[in-house]
Amino acid sequence: MSSVVEEGKTYEPGTYPDLPPPPSTVGIVGWVRENLLSSTTNIVITVLTLYFLWVILPPSINWLFLNAVFEGASRDECRAIMREAGASGACWAFIGHRFELFVYGFYPVEERWRVDLSFILMLAAIVPVLWDKTPQRGKMMIGSALAPFVIGWLLIGGFGLETVPTDKFGGFMLTLVIGVTGIVGSLPLGIALALGRQSHLPALRIVCVVFIEFIRGVPLITLLFVASTMLNYFLPPGTTFDLLLRVLIMVTLFAAAYLAEVVRGGLQAIPKGQIEAADAMGLKYWQSMRLIILPQALKISIPGIVNTFIGLYKDTTLVIIIGLFDPLGVGRASLADTKWQGLSTEVYVFVAIFFFVSCIAMSRYSLYLEKKLHTGH
Amino acid sequence: MAASSATSESGRQSLWYRIFYDKETRSTAIQVLTLTLLFAFFFYIIRNAVINLEAIGKGYSFKFLWEPSNYDINQTLIEYDSRSPHWRATIVGILNTLLVAVTGIIIATVVGFIMGVLRLSHNWLINKVVYVYIEYVRNVPVLLHILMVHGVIVNTLPLPRNAISIDDTFFLTNRGFYTPKPLFEPAMWAVFIAFVVGIVFSIWFNHYAKKVQDATGKIYPVIWISLAAIILFPILVYFVVGSPMSFEMAELRGFNFKGGLVLRPEYLALTLALALYTAAFIAEIVRAGIQAISHGQTEASYALGIKPNRTMRLVIIPQALRVIIPPLSSQYLNLTKNSSLAIAIGYMDIVATIGGISLNQTGREMECMTIVLALYLSFSLMISAFMNWYNKKMKLVER
Amino acid sequence: MKLFKTLAVSAAVAMAATSGTASAGTLEDVKARGELNCIVTTGVAGFAAPNDAGRWEGFDVDFCRATAAAVLGDADKVKFVPTTGKTRFTALNAGEGDILYRNTTITMSRDADLKLTFLGVNYYDGQGFLVPKALGVTSAKQLDGASVCIQTGTTTELNLADYFRANGMSYEPVTIETNEEGQVNYLAGRCDVYTTDASGLAATRSSFDNPNAHVILPEIISKEPLGPAVRQGDDAWADTARWVLNVLIEAEELGITAGNVKGLASNGSNNPAINRITGVEGSYGEMIGLDKDWAVRAISAVGNYGEIFERNIGVNTPLGLARGLNAQWTEGGILYAAPAR
Please indicate if any CB of chain A lies within 8 Å of the CB of C313: no
Query: In this structure, is residue A233 part of a structural domain?
Result: yes
Say if residue B293 is in the same domain as residue B362. yes
Say if residue A199 is in the same domain as residue A325. yes
CB C90 within 8 A of CB C102: no
Residue with the larger pLDDT of the pair A31 and B94: B94
Query: In this structure, is residue B328 part of a structural domain?
Result: yes
What distance in Å separates the CA atoms of residue A225 and residue A323, rounded to the nearest whole number? Answer: 10
* pLDDT, tens only, B356-389: 888 888 878 888 989 999 999 998 888 888 877 8
Say if residue B142 is in the same domain as residue B269. yes
- Are A219 and B125 a contacting pair at CB < 8 A? no
What mean pLDDT is predicted for residues A183-187? 89
Q: In total, how many domains does chain A have?
A: 3
Chains in contact with B, where contact requires at least 3 CB pairs less than 8 Å apart: A, C
Say if residue A290 is in the same domain as residue A242. yes
- Are C135 and B72 a contacting pair at CB < 8 A? no
Say if residue B279 is in the same domain as residue B389. yes
B331: closest CA of chain C, how far (Å): 27
Residue A225 is nearest to which of B27, B344, B355, comparing CB atoms? B355
C11 pLDDT band (50/70/90 cuts)?
very low
Residue with the larger pLDDT of the pair B387 and C189: C189
| Secondary structure (3-state) at C245 | helix
Instruction: Give pLDDT, residue B13.
Output: 66
The segment with the largest mean pLDDT, out of A226-240, C276-290, C295-309, is C295-309
Cα A250 to Cα A244, A253, C4, C7, C95: the distances in Å are 10, 5, 13, 15, 19
Please indicate if any CB of chain A lies within 8 Å of the CB of C36: no
CB C47 within 8 A of CB C204: no
Say if residue B45 is in the same domain as residue B105. no
Chains in contact with A, where contact requires at least 3 CB pairs less than 8 Å apart: B, C
C43: closest CA of chain A, how far (Å): 5
Q: Which of B378, B337, B343 is nearest to B359 (CA)?
A: B343
CA B34 distance to own-chain centroid: 36
C4 pLDDT band (50/70/90 cuts)?
very low
CA angle A238, A240, A245 (to 5 degrees): 165
Query: In this structure, is residue B68 part of a structural domain?
Result: no
A335 CB neighbours in chain C (<8 A) are 43, 180
A71 is in which domain, residue-wise? 67-95
Say if residue A238 is in the same domain as residue A174. yes
Say if residue B39 is in the same domain as residue B131. no
Taking only residues 113 to 142 of chain C, the set having a beta carbon closer than 8 angstroms to any beta carbon of chain B reads 113-115, 135
- Identify any residues that bridge with A69 across adjacent strands, giving them in sequence order: A91
Query: In this structure, is residue B62 part of a structural domain?
Result: no
Query: In this structure, is residue A335 part of a structural domain?
Result: yes
- Are B255 and C146 a contacting pair at CB < 8 A? yes
A98 pLDDT band (50/70/90 cuts)?
confident
Q: Other CB atoms closer than 10 Å to residue A268's CB: what's the count?
A: 12
B49 CB neighbours in chain A (<8 A) are 233-234
Say if residue B358 is in the same domain as residue B308. yes
Residue of B nearest to C151 (CA): B346
What distance in Å separates the CA atoms of residue B367 and residue B65, rounded to the nearest whole number? Answer: 10
- Identify any residues that bridge with C176 across adjacent strands, giving them in sequence order: C151
Say if residue A236 is in the same domain as residue A261. yes
Say if residue B279 is in the same domain as residue B332. yes
Taking only residues 123 to 142 of chain B, the set having a beta carbon closer than 8 angstroms to any beta carbon of chain A reads 123-126, 129, 135-136, 138-142
Taking only residues 157 to 176 of chain C, the set having a beta carbon closer than 8 angstroms to any beta carbon of chain B reads 157-158, 160-162, 164-165, 171-176
Say if residue B297 is in the same domain as residue B379. yes
Say if residue A169 is in the same domain as residue A299. yes
End-to-end CA distance of chain A: 49
- Identify any residues that bridge with C151 across adjacent strands, giving them in sequence order: C176
User: What is the share, in percent, of chain A residues with pLDDT greater than 90?
Assistant: 11
What distance in Å separates the CA atoms of residue B320 and residue B318, rounded to the nearest whole number? Answer: 6
Q: Is B139 exposed, middle or buried (0-12, 13-18, 19+ CB in 10 A)?
A: buried
Say if residue A169 is in the same domain as residue A86. no
What distance in Å separates the CA atoms of residue C163 and residue C127, rounded to the nearest whole number? Answer: 11
Say if residue A213 is in the same domain as residue A344. yes
Q: Determine the length of chain C.
A: 341
User: CATH number for the domain including A369?
Assistant: 1.10.3720.10
CA angle B183, B188, B193 (to 5 degrees): 140
A193: closest CA of chain C, how far (Å): 6
Phi-psi region of A213 (alpha: psi -120 to 50; beta: other; left: phi over 0): alpha
Query: For residue C6, is pLDDT > 60?
Result: no
ipTM for the whole complex: 0.84
Q: Which of C118, C117, C98, C101 is nearest to C31 (CA)?
A: C98
User: What rounded mean pLDDT belongs to chain A?
Assistant: 83
A338 pLDDT band (50/70/90 cuts)?
low
* pLDDT, tens only, C313-336: 888 887 778 888 899 999 888 999
A315 CB neighbours in chain B (<8 A) are 141
CB B10 within 8 A of CB B18: yes
Query: In this structure, is residue B99 part of a structural domain?
Result: yes
Say if residue B156 is in the same domain as residue B8. no
Please indicate if any CB of chain A lies within 8 Å of the CB of C23: yes
Q: Which of B351, B347, B348 is nearest to B373 (CA)?
A: B351
Query: In this structure, is residue B33 part of a structural domain?
Result: yes
End-to-end CA distance of chain B: 41
Residue B154 is nearest to which of C93, C161, C185, comparing CB atoms? C185
Residue of A nearest to B379 (CA): A217
Query: In this structure, is residue B180 part of a structural domain?
Result: no
CB B383 within 8 A of CB B333: yes
CB contact set of A295 (below 8 Å; sequence gap of 6+): none
Query: In this structure, is residue A13 part of a structural domain?
Result: no
Q: Which helix (DSSP H) or strand (DSSP E) does residue C132 occupy?
A: strand C127-132
The domains of chain C, with CATH numbers, are: 24-124+226-249+305-320 (3.40.190.10), 127-222 (3.40.190.10)
What mean pLDDT is predicted for residues A220-233? 84
DSSP state of B127: H
What distance in Å separates the CA atoms of residue B2 and residue C262, rounded to the nearest whole number? Answer: 89
CB C32 within 8 A of CB C21: yes
Q: Which of C40, C84, C41 is nearest to C175 (CA)?
A: C84
Query: Angle between the B124-138 and B265-292 helix axes, to the nearest 10 degrees?
Result: 120
| Secondary structure (3-state) at A165 | coil
Instruction: Give pLDDT, residue B5.
Output: 45
Query: For residue C274, is pLDDT > 50?
Result: yes
What distance in Å separates the CA atoms of residue A334 and residue A329, rounded to the nearest whole number? Answer: 8
User: What rounded mean pLDDT belongs to chain C?
Assistant: 84
CB C46 within 8 A of CB C312: yes
Q: Which of B271, B268, B278, B269 is nearest to B108 (CA)?
A: B278
B18 is in which domain, residue-wise? 4-49
Query: In this structure, is residue B76 part of a structural domain?
Result: no
C157 CB neighbours in chain B (<8 A) are 71-72, 357
What distance in Å separates the CA atoms of residue A16 and residue A21, rounded to the nearest whole number? Answer: 15
- Are A201 and B31 a contacting pair at CB < 8 A? yes
B341 CB neighbours in chain A (<8 A) are 219, 221, 318, 321
Digit-by-digit pLDDT tens for chain B (399 residues) are 444 444 445 455 677 777 777 777 778 888 888 888 888 888 888 888 888 877 777 778 888 889 888 888 888 888 888 888 999 999 999 999 999 999 999 999 999 999 988 888 878 888 889 999 999 999 999 999 999 898 888 888 888 888 888 877 888 888 888 888 888 777 788 888 888 998 999 899 888 888 888 888 787 788 888 888 888 888 888 888 877 777 877 777 778 887 778 888 899 999 999 999 999 999 999 988 888 888 888 889 989 988 877 887 888 888 888 888 888 888 898 899 999 998 888 888 998 888 888 888 887 888 898 999 999 999 888 888 887 788 777 766 554
CB C217 within 8 A of CB C139: yes
Say if residue A251 is in the same domain as residue A354. yes
CB contact set of C333 (below 8 Å; sequence gap of 6+): C124, C323, C324, C325, C326, C327
Residue C87 is nearest to which of A238, A322, A335, comparing CB atoms? A322
Say if residue B353 is in the same domain as residue B292. yes
Say if residue A265 is in the same domain as residue A303. yes
Q: Which of C255, C257, C279 is nearest to C268 (CA)?
A: C279
Say if residue A235 is in the same domain as residue A282. yes
Say if residue A170 is in the same domain as residue A50. no
- Are C12 and A229 a contacting pair at CB < 8 A? no
User: CATH number for the domain including B359?
Assistant: 1.10.3720.10
Long-range contacts: A119-128, Cβ < 8 Å, 24+? A119/A176, A121/A147, A121/A150, A121/A151, A121/A154, A122/A147, A122/A151, A122/A176, A122/A180
Q: Which of C166, C180, C42 is nearest to C102 (CA)?
A: C42
Query: In this structure, is residue A213 part of a structural domain?
Result: yes
Residue B376 is nearest to which of A202, A222, A233, comparing CB atoms? A222
Residue of A nearest to B372 (CA): A222
What distance in Å separates the CA atoms of residue A109 and residue A96, rounded to the nearest whole number? Answer: 17
Q: Other CB atoms closer than 10 Å to residue B334's CB: what's the count?
A: 18
Beta strands C193-197; B261-263: pairing state: unpaired
Please indicate if any CB of chain A lies within 8 Å of the CB of B270: no
User: What is the share, in percent, of chain C residues with pLDDT greater than 70?
Assistant: 92
In this structure, which amino acid lies at residue A86?
Answer: G
Beta strands B251-253; B261-263: pairing state: unpaired
Say if residue B91 is in the same domain as residue B31. no
- For the CA atoms of B157, B161, B165, B169, the dihedral, rounded to the nearest 10 degrees, stands at 130
Say if residue A184 is in the same domain as residue A266. yes
Q: In total, how many domains does chain B have?
A: 2
Q: Which of B151, B83, C66, B160 is nearest to A347 (CA)?
A: B151
